[in-house]
Chains A and B, each alone.
Chain A
């Protein structure tokens, strides 16, 4: 047999074998996937203070400076020994996944009066509400906690707080004998025994940090 014929024969056989291989039956199933992540968002709610949400003793001047979803800042002037002021702080989980309290940081401005700082106490508790505004639980904060220990107390008392989407926490006043009332707000008190610190100023920031619930 001539060489060219032999090669042609080999080629034909090879193609036939290829054909047999490709002709095997197959079927396939396809799984199409669409995967989305959610988001983590914690905000202060109610961007406007009402008169009952920020109030103080007589002659104390209060004015909210900034209040939006992420920042609450207010200024108080003309404080004096024995004066009080109250605020309502409500923090809501507006994200799509549960959040867990991470930590709170209280920082004082460089020009703050150390004497005034040492003579202010704060009393507070926490009320927890579900997304529909139903009261679902309470947590103890502390009564007459020195402002200098406020950060540590916030961190110890909020350590296990978790908020589901829509839930929010109100930082309110300490319990009274009849039980808590929403009208009783977180209360700051200037020590009535303060003898100095006239015409002094104090500014401080309270930062609440939150993280996703599974961290």
Chain B
């Protein structure tokens, strides 16, 4: 919890990745595409920041990875949410909601 607050940006990216994967197994390119779709093209995750975050999440045991053949016939590395990852997503979403609510309240008070 404390960690998420302190490290908001990274935590946010982690949450987005977890969310994207919660809808099914994906490769790196697919994760970026899915986040873009889900955000109505508003969020565009850079490849350069995706992979370090993805590997970090993998090390934390929230996702698992395997090489497989892509529908185009190319190989790709696929990532899948683990049970721990699903729980982490719930925690992060809850804390994100709280944060949004808190910010909203502050803003109402000032305007």
User: Is this pair of chains taken from one and the same complex?
Assistant: no
Which residues of B pack against A, CB within 8 Å? none
Which residues of A pack against B, CB within 8 Å? none
